Amino acid sequence: VQHEMDHLMGKVFVEYLSPLKRDRIKTKMIKKTRDEQGRGR
């Protein structure tokens, strides 16, 4: 039920993480994007 309420309220799972974990995910996503752009994707 919480999952469905989150969808309705526009919440995503990373909003439940600590700022440290959120920053780690953000850093990994930025790196992955740069790596993929470097390969011409």
Helix (H, G, I), strand (E, B) or coil at 10: coil
Give 5-41 pLDDT, tens digit per residue: 999 999 998 899 999 999 999 999 999 999 999 987 6
H or E stretch covering 8:
helix 2-9
Could you say which DSSP state residue 39 is in? Answer: T
Catalytic residue among 1, 3, 4, 20: 4
Q: Is residue 1 a contact partner of residue 12, using CB atoms and an 8 Å limit? A: no
pTM of the model: 0.60
At a CB cut-off of 8 Å and minimum separation 6, what does 40 contact? Answer: none
Q: Is 4 a catalytic residue?
A: yes
